[in-house]
Amino acid sequence: MDLIHELGELALATRLKRLSERLSTDVSKIYKESDVDFEAKWFLILSLLQKEKVMSITAIAESLQLSHPAIVQFVQELSQKNLIKSVGDKKDGRKRMISLTTTGKRTLEQIAPILTSIKAENKKWIESASANILCVLTELEQALDEQSMYQRIKLDILQQKP
């Protein structure tokens, strides 16, 4: 029995998280077997820094639409692996400015062939389904941008009150 399947809509977030963890775990195994000391969860930040060069933690969080604490945790992990460096902002000493190190740039070059394979396999996997999950996710994200789940549930509960 798979309770998550049985619960259907009530376990949507859990089901999405479970799928995400499965994909991340498999990709991280590929990095490990390729002798690359890298975790799938770090890719977005490194990719963003490759594009933007230097960003604050707040700007990274806003750009990726992830929580500030999650970005702080990733930055700590990436700093420990010497993939990024953090320096104080010259204009605002409270801010930390994050950028790639030479090791971080080299690691991105090293994983480039793996990323090409991941992209190709993800494309095939997505195309094998009855609907394009990327399109569906975009639609769902846009709907939540218009009205959050909190707002939807709160409105539904208020309408049920006598």
Is 145 inside any structural domain? no
Residue 7 lies in a domain: yes
Taking alpha carbons only, the member of 66, 15, 17 closest to residue 45 is 66
User: pTM of this prediction?
Assistant: 0.86
Q: What is the pLDDT of residues 32-80, one digit of tens each?
A: 999 999 999 999 999 999 999 999 999 999 999 999 999 999 999 999 9
Q: For residue 41, give the CATH number of its domain.
A: 1.10.10.10
Give kind and range of the element (H or E) at residue 139: helix 133-146
Proportion of the chain above pLDDT 70, given as a percent: 100
Residue 83 lies in a domain: yes
- Reading the block at residue 26, the tokens are 């498999």
Residue type, 130: S
For the chain, list the strands marked E by DSSP.
54-56, 84-88, 96-100
Q: Which domain holds residue 61?
A: 3-128
Residue 53 φ/ψ, nearest 5 degrees: 75, -60
